[in-house]
Structure 1
């Protein structure tokens, strides 16, 4: 049997038991021989807890998978076949700042969209590029499966600035697929969806069952209040007339773009009464790790679903399985456009249905994005492109222009204040923006 080492960067994450559970369920087709959990010194306690739980889960399943944990990233990367990234630079405290800073100026404060996602990208991109330099040196044939948000921007940075084989992943499309199947009263396997767009801004352009187009029915059901959402997003209702005019199924994150005022009002109220999403997650994490530390726990606890990572292991390990076993299955991934969406450059990273085999992901040709979707697509992609450049170069002007293009920033006076606050609050994580910094 070929050795199959999977390394998880951010192994001390509360999401890791979800991945371990997925490995156990797929061991016949994905015969993992070694699982290495990598984290940083500040995450040592969580890494210890997760490592012990991982070993108990594998032992209960009767699997002889070697489990190691290390703070030495290079040791973890060496000889890995797949490297999964799920880390958060600055932890949940940094996320809470990302959410609070925009809200101070009555701008949506969400961790992956708008200024909050921009702050996260600035912190994350230099780190992922450092990781990729280690991958190039120690595991040049490995696949990097990036779950670190903002997944589209982080993956674009990797593909534009390194030689690493990489794909980005998100659990939004699979959540949409399963929710829509439930709406229609069919199994997920019976429903076929076509996705194209950007990460956290992807549309399902068609829904079919047994070759019959069900898209209008889904839009009608959604307009009547059917649920299509994520745990971390307020379920503001969609307007029926708007959905009919749109003609495609929006993802839950589109609420931030199409329903700005109501989403902002919800965030402001939640931040005042319950705390921002990050502040709420901190409490959930504390509860989860108390469970994880129980030496009698040997399975993924149901409380993990509150964390917001539904189907995380399914989408990530299905992708690993497709590559490892050359399955030629359709997965929704963040990958180089390569002409799939005619309106965008080849090197832009898009989120799209793709055929995945041993050589990687091959986007399904979509054609031109319709005018009523293309305007938003172009604006957000321009923001992402400049945002990646700003993060790599430590370029203030590009950072300012990136925020000026973000649809959630209403005014450049506000945008500049938000940017300056982001840079000040994250100074320890953004050496590329320091005076005299060399890139």
Structure 2
């Protein structure tokens, strides 16, 4: 009870003020004594800017939380209680390449899907596995809570290639879904829970509850007549409404990221237009981040600026800080995280990562069983899980053949020849960050 030590790796992220705000708001339940913001030398400028803002926020709030900036990960990790990871290996320039290179071949380029998501995983998974090794030595009792995309594949890699079990992946998509469903049902978000079936960014709400009572049928009726403006959506891409026929036949609600798979032609056309105009999402985010860091440098700013919501970081503090708070306080509430399957979804390997509704206790998340997936969603989830596993194996082994095979398995890839060309071009573009693929 002497206070909690939290280490945030990737502390120079533009998301950090959202996280700091969340810890400040919960200080009475989550007494964070030390918050270490860790980054690499390449990110020094951003860390110093965002770290100074974090320190001003804490000072304004009047809570006894010490914000410490560090470029020594191992020093920071000693004795940590919780470790959060929110890094971008290769910075936004790498994301822009991930998006533009596939689009130059007429293939979808989206940060967590298809070729772009695969290469983000290739760059990130080895770094995360190194962090896990450090944690096992320096803070073996700490929980790792990973926000870094692609969160599902990163969780899969940790569970499959290490013996470290205290890891959870976290995404703001489920909490946005909860808030969206609450708005459509005209109830408070804290009254809404979901049954989730699937994987990170590839998950379906297979039941929706208000005060424990199913409201799925009502939500299905709403979704048959919903406009794009009213549907549950994300700020980082446009959302199209699903047809009434599809919703009736599916009998569950897809997460917004399913737009890439069920409106592939429309999404690709929009992305190609953005590509031609020099405004793929990574380029837009870079301009937004430049503006945010200009704001963050204002020495009079001592709160999270509202403009951060345009970055896509909305509700991250609720998701991340609620999770840490519930683990610390053994609250037993329901939250939505990427965890080991362990029979939660029948037909998926028990040691694979899934995204599920979980009861959060001090002993960790307890996934709520879903059982066998209905045929409408089983095939696509199994396909994506196979893709994720191949990506993780390629990331660890540096196998170009597996990389090409994985991309061919992804529904966003239309041609084997495109897969080979895109993999080779992205490997060369990211050579600096992919030593495992260039060992010989």
Scaled by the length of structure 2, the TM-score of the pair is 0.97
Alignment partner for residue 368 of structure 1, among 359, 372, 393?
A: 372
Q: 1:61-85 CA distances to partner (integer Å, 9 max, x unpaired)? A: 1111111101111111111100000
- The residue number in structure 2 matching 1:171 is 172
Structure-2 separation of matches of 1:192 and 1:303: 29
Number of aligned residue pairs: give it: 436
- The residue number in structure 2 matching 1:158 is 158
Alignment partner for residue 284 of structure 2, among 257, 280, 285?
A: 280
* Residue ranges of structure 1 left out of the alignment (5+ in a row): none
- The residue number in structure 2 matching 1:132 is 132
- The residue number in structure 2 matching 1:395 is 399
For the Cα contact (< 8 Å) 1:326–1:356, is it kept in 2? Answer: yes
Task: Mark the CA change 1:274 to 1:105 in structure 2 (over 3 Å): closer, same or farther.
Answer: closer
Q: CA deviation at 1:210?
A: 4.3
Structure-2 separation of matches of 1:113 and 1:120: 10
For the Cα contact (< 8 Å) 1:234–1:266, is it kept in 2? Answer: no
- The residue number in structure 2 matching 1:217 is 218
Is the counterpart of residue 182 in structure 1 residue 183 in structure 2?
Answer: yes
Provide the secondary structure at the position in 2 that maps to 1:33. strand
Structure-1 separation of matches of 2:332 and 2:163: 23
Scaled by the length of structure 1, the TM-score of the pair is 0.97
Alignment partner for residue 332 of structure 2, among 328, 331, 342?
A: 328
Q: CA deviation at 1:191?
A: 2.2
Q: 1:355-391 CA distances to partner (integer Å, 9 max, x unpaired)? A: 1111111111110011111100111000000110000
Structure-2 separation of matches of 1:286 and 1:99: 19
- The residue number in structure 2 matching 1:337 is 341
Q: CA deviation at 1:234?
A: 1.0
Structure-2 separation of matches of 1:97 and 1:217: 43
- The residue number in structure 2 matching 1:229 is 233
- The residue number in structure 2 matching 1:253 is 257
Q: 1:316-347 CA distances to partner (integer Å, 9 max, x unpaired)? A: 11111111111111111100000000010001
After superposition, residues 12-411 of structure 1 pair within 5 angstroms as 12-164=12-164, 165-223=166-224, 224-225=226-227, 226-273=230-277, 275-411=279-415
Structure-2 separation of matches of 1:349 and 1:182: 30
- The residue number in structure 1 matching 2:10 is 10
For the Cα contact (< 8 Å) 2:274–2:280, is it kept in 1? Answer: yes
Alignment partner for residue 422 of structure 1, among 421, 426, 431?
A: 426
Provide the secondary structure at the position in 2 that maps to 1:35. strand
For the Cα contact (< 8 Å) 2:341–2:350, is it kept in 1? Answer: yes
Give the stretch that moved more between structures: 409-418 or 86-95. 409-418
Let me know the Cα RMSD of the aligned residues: 1.1
Structure-2 separation of matches of 1:299 and 1:418: 42
Structure-2 separation of matches of 1:35 and 1:368: 42
Q: CA deviation at 1:2?
A: 2.6
For the Cα contact (< 8 Å) 2:159–2:352, is it kept in 1? Answer: no
* Residue ranges of structure 2 left out of the alignment (5+ in a row): none
Q: CA deviation at 1:196?
A: 1.8
Runs of 4+ in 1 over 4 A off after TM superposition: none
Q: 1:101-139 CA distances to partner (integer Å, 9 max, x unpaired)? A: 111111111000110000100000011111111111111
Q: 1:275-332 CA distances to partner (integer Å, 9 max, x unpaired)? A: 1001001110011001000000000010000000111011111111111111111111
Task: Mark the CA change 1:55 to 1:385 in structure 2 (over 3 Å): closer, same or farther.
Answer: same
Q: CA deviation at 1:416?
A: 1.0
Give the stretch that moved more between structures: 231-240 or 137-146. 231-240
Provide the secondary structure at the position in 2 that maps to 1:235. coil
Q: CA deviation at 1:220?
A: 3.2
Structure-2 separation of matches of 1:31 and 1:188: 25
Structure-2 separation of matches of 1:213 and 1:350: 23
Provide the secondary structure at the position in 2 that maps to 1:145. strand
Provide the secondary structure at the position in 2 that maps to 1:94. helix
Structure-1 separation of matches of 2:296 and 2:239: 30
For the Cα contact (< 8 Å) 2:195–2:370, is it kept in 1? Answer: no
Structure-2 separation of matches of 1:219 and 1:276: 33
Structure-1 separation of matches of 2:367 and 2:121: 24
